[in-house]
Structure formats: structure tokens, C-alpha cells
């Protein structure tokens, strides 16, 4: 399950990404990028916070200990951390799905 919307890049974001290590081949013809690719690009695959772990394919969060509850606060904190890392590294603001 994805927690972030597909990213529609602006021309300025694309120009900035060209100065980074982001794989420009991951950008679709319509200038969109799967948000999981940014999660992987910043090296967060497998990252753990509280009772959550980013899935190895970057597609979402998974509980790391099924004997402990995952709260909305856990998810909000993880999402905030991911957004910060992507924004700081690539200048792209991830948006949560509604």
C-alpha cells in the first residue's frame, strides 16, 4: 500500500534532480515519479522507526513487531521523516494520499 501520492514534477524540480544522483530514467514521459522510488533513492528501504519498517521495495510501511500495536502517531512520524528526507535530498515535497 502506498501512503504518498504519485509525484508530478515541475520543470524546476526536474532541473534540480539533474544535479543529483537521482536516476532520471525513473521519471515517466508525463513527468511523474512513483513516490517509492524517492524513498529508495534516499536509502530508506528497510528503515525502522518505532514499530514500523519501510518495506524493502519502498512501497509503504509494514509493522516490524506484530505483537505491538502501530498507532496513527507512529505512521504520522514515519511519514514526516520520509517527507523530510526526500525534500532535503531532492527538493521534492511528497504528499500523503487522502
Mean pLDDT of the chain: 87
| The pLDDT of residue 66 | 61
Q: Order of strands, edge to edge, in the sheet holding 52-54?
A: 48-49, 52-54, 61-63
49-to-5, 30, 33, 44 alpha-carbon distances in Å = 21, 34, 25, 11
Would you place residue 17 in the very low, low, confident or very high pLDDT band (cuts 50, 70, 90)?
very high
Q: Give CA angle at 96 (91, 98), nearest 5°.
A: 150
| The pLDDT of residue 94 | 94
Query: Helix, strand, coil % (nearest 5) of the chain?
Result: 35, 15, 50
pTM (2 d.p.): 0.86
More confident residue, 98 or 31: 31
The rounded distance, in Å, linking the Cα atoms of 33 and 27 is 5
Q: What's the pLDDT tens digit per position in 32-68? A: 999 889 988 999 888 888 888 888 776 666 666 666 7
Domain 7-90: which topology? 3.90.78
**For the chain, which residues make up each domain, given as ranges?**
7-90
Query: What single DSSP character describes residue 4?
Result: B
| The pLDDT of residue 59 | 65
Amino acid at each position: 500500500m502506498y501512503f504518498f501520492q504519485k509525484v508530478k514534477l515541475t520543470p524546476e524540480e526536474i532541473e534540480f534532480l539533474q544535479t543529483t544522483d537521482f536516476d532520471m530514467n525513473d521519471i515517466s514521459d508525463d513527468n511523474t515519479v512513483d513516490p517509492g522510488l524517492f524513498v529508495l533513492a534516499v536509502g530508506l528501504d528497510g528503515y525502522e522507526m518505532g514499530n514500523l519498517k519501510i518495506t524493502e521495495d519502498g512501497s509503504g510501511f509494514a509493522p516490524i513487531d506484530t505483537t505491538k500495536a502501530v498507532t496513527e502517531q507512529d505512521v504520522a512520524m514515519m511519514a514526516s521523516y520520509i517527507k523530510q528526507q526526500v525534500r532535503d535530498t531532492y527538493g521534492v515535497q511528497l504528499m500523503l494520499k487522502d
